[in-house]
Amino acid sequence: MVDVARMSEAEAANRLMRLAREIAKHDRLYHDRDTPEISDADYDALVAENRAIEAAFPQLVRDDSPSKRVGHLPSSPLSKVTHAKPMLSLDNAFEADDVREFLGRVRRFLKLVPEAPVTLTAEPKIDGLSCSLRYEGGRLVLAATRGDGSVGEDVTANARTIDDIPETVEGAPQVLEVRGEVYMATEDFAALNARQEKAGEKVFANPRNAAAGSFRQKDASVTKARPLRFFAHGWGEISALPRETQSGMVDWLRGLGFPVDPMFVTCEGAEAALEHYDAIQEARPDLGYEIDGVVYKVDRLDWQERLGQVARAPRWALAHKFPAEQAETVLEAIDIQVGRTGKLTPVGRLKPIGVGGVIVSNVTLHNFDEIDRLGVRPGDRVRVQRAGDVIPQIVANLSDAAGRDPYPRPATCPVCDSEAVAEEGEVDIRCTGGLICPAQRFERLKHFVSRGAMDIDGLGEKSIAEFLELGWIEKPSDIFELHRHREALLKREGWKETSVDKLLAAIDARRGFDAARFLFGLGIRHVGAVTARDLMKAFGSIEALQEAARGETPIADLTAVDGVGEVVAQAVVDFFHEPHNREEVARLIARAAPAPYVVETVDSDWAGKTIVFTGKLEAVSRDEAKAQAERLGAKAAGSVSSKTDLLVAGPGAGSKLKKAQELGVRVMSEEEWLAEVAKA
Ligand code: IVH
């Protein structure tokens, strides 16, 4: 891993940008397409690196930081819509000088003299979620979330429930897309959380999460019951542009009936813009909604047009973020949480304190080395910091911590009392209880049914907790015996015949399912979905893998598989070494009969060749394309190198296409590829 202590701020910002993109890409591959390209361990290393850099440079935490996402939102049931014009994001600045430099860049790009007047607009950066509202003939016809900027989700019915969003507008051109921010006022957020808590429902961490959770609902009546608001700050497709400046357009939108932030102003040059930054920062506590910075835009639209964009951010706009917020309180306790693989994570419990409008009562401590680094103990006064909605952290211990011994490491798991150990060279301490540990059991069941693994619809966290509590399921194989409890389940609150039968059918549909998914679902350390597939491709069945893992030369036999190194091999051997794991595997095989993993190949010119798919495939999913390649005897790879024989590029192909062209690799379209498949 990189040496964070030696990083300059610029290097850190750059690396964080790359990590955000890379981690988001792997999240999508893993969760939405089920085609991860890297191992779980490599993924975890990226996340850890991101966390380490953010801890050292909290002012650089990005809007789209992976640490801000509490897991990846599962592919939502809302349908997808492609934006007529992409929804862009913004470059961030943290210092006044960054803003001056921004203006310098703008002037140089436009070939203006250094003192040339440039009018900017300045307005609060609302901490909500962006939304695009499409009006045709003055009627709202489509509302979409930003999504990845190109494709968002259809939230039309939800948008219609928001009072701030007009259903019809008079005097609008034929096509008008209004873009802005859906948010929840702080007061409404507090009231919603109080109601949720009383009803025993989920409490939201902050207004932004509450707004997102309320807006991205399949059932618009849920959205209707939530107090959402909207501010317009821009536009997308528009059939006739009625004004020549950003401020003119914003005025015009206000005139059409869209709410616009009251602190929107125009300023002449950087110094005036910075003055407005101070004014907004001062007004911040009283605005009644959360903001996390100020957005500056070049006012003249002809200049915006000329400036264009780099990657996904316009050259004509900049987000000037507020510094992270801090507060002081008392660390009341240090608890330990147990994860899926048994990792024990210390969590600090605080005397609740408001930090930038949000009540904070927990802080992450990452691991026990971090407790020693901070030198904290329960009872200490600490300074906590919240940047955006990253899980708050302790940044300093304000009590005298001199001469303290290292914090005692737990010798046993706090949940199941099994021995807890730190592996050589690792900071993490793990519970060795495996499936005996209730905390690990719950996390593992969740993993087993997750999308990348068995993908069992209707068996969510709540049901797993319920069935665990009832003692109906303790381990994955029990899921396949759940039908025995059908009658009892029907008598339980919240379950109806249709929902019960749907769940049982979803489970039945997974009998005889792909062995690689079963293997991944077992949650063996370091065995991600790709590794599971590599292993099943080589061994064909879980039984054969187990035999190899229990054989005379297991490490050599396992590392002989493409993509499997010593760490993975050792983890597989360790897993099958445990009698309780072997028993569980035997039960799973008996109850759910995983289908052997067979790749039937046909004779083709592509046998032995390496193929890479990139860009958006339109007729087939990426999984299917890879399977097609395998069926033709070819290998589907994730990145382009001199060993690549063919790149199949769909729309939006980027760096891989460029590299293939540089290397002289043959490139074809999806259509041409499908013709090859049809030939074989
Ligand atoms: S303008 C082309 N103005 O910030 C520029 N964005 O970090 C598009 N945001 O996705 C954005 N307040 O959702 C703009 N006053 C404001 C904003 C704002 C909040 C959000 C927006 C965007 C994100 C980028």
pTM: 0.52
The DSSP secondary structure of 392-429, one letter per residue, reads PEEEEE-S--TTPPPPPPPSB-TTT--BEEE-TT---E
Task: List Cα–Cα distances, 57 to 47, 52, 175, 387, in angstroms.
Answer: 15, 9, 44, 11
Residue 89 CA to ligand 1 center (angstroms) comes to 6
The closest residue, in CA terms, to atom 17 on ligand 1 is 125
**From 91, 121, 177, 181, mutation site for ligand 1 pocket: most ligand atoms within 8 A of C-beta:** 181
Q: Which helix (H) or strand (E) holds 446?
A: helix 438-449
Which ligand 1 atom lies nearest to the CA of residue 129? Answer: 13
Neighbours of 134 (CB within 10 A): 21
**From 62, 63, 233, 304, mutation site for ligand 1 pocket: most ligand atoms within 8 A of C-beta:** 233
Q: What does the pLDDT read at residue 360?
A: 87
The closest residue, in CA terms, to atom 18 on ligand 1 is 125
Q: What does the pLDDT read at residue 35?
A: 59
Q: What are the DSSP E strand ranges found in 113-208? A: 119-126, 129-136, 139-145, 151-153, 175-183
Which stretches in the chain have pLDDT values below 50? 34, 70-75, 389
3-class DSSP state of 352 = strand
Q: What does the pLDDT read at residue 12?
A: 86
The closest residue, in CA terms, to atom 13 on ligand 1 is 130
Closest CA to 180 of 83, 76, 250: 250
Which ligand 1 atom lies nearest to the CA of residue 180? Answer: 13
Distance CA 513, CA 480 (A): 12
The single residue listed with the structure tokens 């499409």 is: 134
**From 130, 178, 249, 303, mutation site for ligand 1 pocket: most ligand atoms within 8 A of C-beta:** 130
Which ligand 1 atom lies nearest to the CA of residue 124? Answer: 15
Q: What does the pLDDT read at residue 75?
A: 46
Q: What does the pLDDT read at residue 30?
A: 60
What are the catalytic residues? Answer: 125
Q: What does the pLDDT read at residue 73?
A: 43
Residue 319 CA to ligand 1 center (angstroms) comes to 8
Residue 106 CA to ligand 1 center (angstroms) comes to 19
Q: What does the pLDDT read at residue 60?
A: 85
Residue 264 CA to ligand 1 center (angstroms) comes to 13
Residue 380 CA to ligand 1 center (angstroms) comes to 39
Q: Which residues pair with 92 in a beta bridge?
A: 319
Which ligand 1 atom lies nearest to the CA of residue 146? Answer: 10
Map out the domains of the chain with their CATH numbers.
1-69 (1.10.287.610), 80-321 (3.30.470.30), 325-432 (2.40.50.140), 433-508 (1.10.150.20), 515-592 (1.10.150.20), 610-679 (3.40.50.10190)
Which residues does a 6 A CB cutoff place in the pocket of ligand 1? 63, 88-90, 123, 125-126, 130, 146, 181, 233-234, 295, 314, 317, 319
